[in-house]
């Protein structure tokens, strides 16, 4: 998500003297050759079968077609206009809203309570609270160091405690999801596209610190979102400005993708797929629109939770080629469970496009149902 430069902080000092660093988690076995070959396929990602008589089936049956499709959308809202956010949720029943930037009126005075009450099946409320130059509640609850500073000055246990504290602050303000941590493996300068948003250039360290922060968030009742799959840390370019290309898949497997071997076994989180062109995987497409990228995440890295796209409406890696309604459709067809755009608006146009695609068979009903099961389960709506 787009960054905002904030004052550097010394939050680590507050936690000095906490428990010593535990031994890093062991790395799960590498994917099999069979799984590797299936990941590079251009076929849609494998469906995760859902039981015939599950708790979500009766909930989904109560949604009309447009409401089902709206649950697959994650839409940016104006952080200074709580009334508009409430109207959007009440009228469209979107599955999630994203609050970026400042001012932070939506995060003050219990403003999100009526927004949540307007959601018949709950609404995920997300911010991108990473620390450092990407944070949203620093003016309300104090600043938090960047991921790179955390890893340099704190133990893994201290980062878990910090993540839990931040999660409690977010939850108290009505936030249910954090687009963090970045588990990108990067040695870029601090001000690079990833830069100090990365915990480390060491894949094992990026994994351990990212998991610690995510565990703290989860323990506080906030869903962490690991990003940017399959790895932005060694990519050339910035997806905000244009196309971005990573090293080939064979290289990512031994470096940028290492954290995702552990993410696959993390319960209670989500993954964000970036707009990254990966040689040997995506055939020139951004990963967020590539069936092969979602297959890689599901089949090789065994992630079964919700998966959403990076911003489809404010990054030229997408907007330079696709209109928003088409980008959303392509992302869902590829395997995303929810499509995100931070700019807001265009909900009617997107839903019209999805309804037409569903009616014609271009968007299979089974793909919508599969995504709904993950989304509603994650929101505890069923």
Distance from C-alpha of 327 to C-alpha of 242, rounded to nearest angstrom: 15
**Non-local CB neighbours of 341 within 8 Å, separated by 6+ positions:** 74, 75, 76, 311, 312, 313, 314, 324, 328
The verdict on whether 234 is a catalytic residue reads no
Please tell me which residue in 138, 208, 256, 310 is annotated as part of the active site. 310
Distance from C-alpha of 267 to C-alpha of 250, rounded to nearest angstrom: 27
* CA 75 to chain centroid: 13
Closest C-alpha to 288, from 275, 303, 306: 275
Please tell me which residue in 190, 219, 238, 240 is annotated as part of the active site. 240
Quote the strand ranges of the chain, DSSP E: 73-77, 96-99, 124-127, 177-178, 223-229, 270-273, 307-309, 339-341
DSSP string, 268-287: T-EEEE---B-TTTSTTS-G
Cis amide bond preceding 181, omega within 30 = yes
Helices 347-360 and 324-334 meet at what angle, rounded to 10? 50
Q: What is the DSSP letter of 45?
A: P
Distance from C-alpha of 55 to C-alpha of 286, rounded to nearest angstrom: 34
3-state SS, residue 326: helix
246 is written with which tokens?
């990573």
Distance from C-alpha of 28 to C-alpha of 9, rounded to nearest angstrom: 35
According to DSSP, the β-strands at 339-341 and 307-309 are unpaired
The verdict on whether 348 is a catalytic residue reads no
3-state SS, residue 149: helix
Closest C-alpha to 243, from 252, 254, 253, 232: 232
**Non-local CB neighbours of 122 within 8 Å, separated by 6+ positions:** 116, 379, 380, 381
List residues with catalytic annotation: 240, 310
């Amino acid at each position: 998500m787009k960054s905002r430069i904030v004052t550097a902080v010394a939050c680590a000092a507050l936690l000095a003297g906490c428990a010593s660093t535990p031994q890093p988690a062991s790395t799960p076995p590498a994917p099999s050759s069979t799984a590797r070959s299936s990941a590079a396929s251009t076929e849609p990602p494998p469906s995760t079968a859902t039981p015939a008589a599950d708790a979500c089936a009766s909930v989904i049956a109560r949604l009309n077609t447009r409401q089902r499709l709206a649950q697959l959308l994650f839409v940016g809202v104006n952080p200074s206009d709580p009334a508009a956010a409430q109207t959007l949720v009440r009228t469209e029943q979107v599955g999630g809203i994203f609050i970026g930037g400042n001012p932070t009126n939506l995060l003050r005075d219990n403003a999100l309570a009526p927004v949540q009450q307007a959601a018949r099946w709950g609404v995920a409320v997300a911010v991108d609270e990473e620390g450092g130059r990407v944070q949203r509640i620093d003016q309300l609850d104090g600043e938090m160091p960047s991921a790179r500073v955390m890893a340099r000055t704190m133990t893994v246990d201290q980062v878990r405690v910090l993540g839990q504290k931040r999660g409690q602050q977010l939850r108290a303000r009505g936030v249910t999801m954090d687009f963090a941590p970045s588990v990108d493996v990067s040695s870029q300068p601090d001000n690079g596209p990833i830069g100090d948003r990365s915990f480390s250039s060491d894949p094992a360290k990026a994994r351990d610190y990212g998991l610690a922060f995510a565990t703290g968030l989860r323990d506080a009742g906030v869903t962490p979102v690991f990003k940017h799959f399959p790895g932005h840390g060694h990519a050339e370019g910035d997806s905000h400005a244009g196309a971005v290309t990573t090293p080939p898949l064979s290289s990512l497997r031994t470096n940028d993708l290492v954290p995702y071997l552990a993410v696959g076994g993390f319960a209670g989180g989500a993954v964000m797929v970036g707009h990254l062109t990966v040689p040997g995987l995506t055939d020139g497409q951004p990963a967020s629109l590539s069936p092969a990228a979602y297959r890689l995440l599901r089949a090789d890295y065994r992630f079964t939770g919700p998966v959403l796209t990076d911003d489809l409406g404010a990054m030229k890696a997408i907007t330079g080629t696709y209109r928003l309604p088409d980008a959303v459709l392509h992302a869902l067809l590829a395997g995303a469970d929810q499509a995100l755009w931070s700019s807001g608006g265009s909900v009617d146009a997107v839903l019209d496009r999805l309804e037409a695609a569903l009616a014609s068979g271009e968007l299979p009903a089974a793909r919508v149902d599969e995504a709904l099961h993950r989304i509603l389960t994650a929101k505890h709506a069923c």
